[in-house]
Structure 1
């Protein structure tokens, strides 16, 4: 949690890239912090990937929220398996 208070955490697994970061609660901007998780297909980083290719979810900004976020990412990994498997074959089709 201390790491996420300072910066975002990014990574990739089997064609799915992900990013966890602290953000304001979108439903209560003046309230507490939330953990925002974003997943998207390879090959590009967060900033160079079109928004329509990203999926997001929000969780509580605590240890339980991290556990829930990992569960959500695992669900995306298996439910959207075809997207992640096909990601490398689309590298040259992205428009920059």
Structure 2
């Protein structure tokens, strides 16, 4: 499982944070939506990096750019990992 302790909202406000877990890669980055700043969380299958993976293999969801949003994002990441065969 991905642990919430490894996700840092202050880091994400400045740079994208990436990682992988058992065949699933993920990227958390600062984004924008109609409400203002948000966190874009993208998942895709290994082995390639974000840039080299085709868009149709990526799934993105937005969360608030807050500590609570990070907790929601981690829960979503773990749910996605369980529900797919990586």
Shorter-chain TM band: 0.7 to 0.9
Specify the structure having the higher radius of gyration (Cα). Answer: 1
Q: Which has the higher contact order (CA 8 A, sep 6+)?
A: 2
Matched, 1:46 2:50: yes
- Report the structure, 1 or 2, having the larger helix content: 1
Aligned length: 78
Q: Unaligned regions of 5+ residues in structure 1, if any?
A: 85-96
Q: Please list every run of 5 or more consecutive structure 2 residues that lacks an aligned counterpart in the other structure.
A: 1-8
Under a length normalisation based on structure 2, what TM-score does the superposition of the two structures give?
0.87
TM-score (norm 1): 0.79
SS of the residue aligned with 1:77?
A: helix
Structure (1/2) with the larger strand percentage: 2
Question: What's 1:33 paired with?
Answer: 37
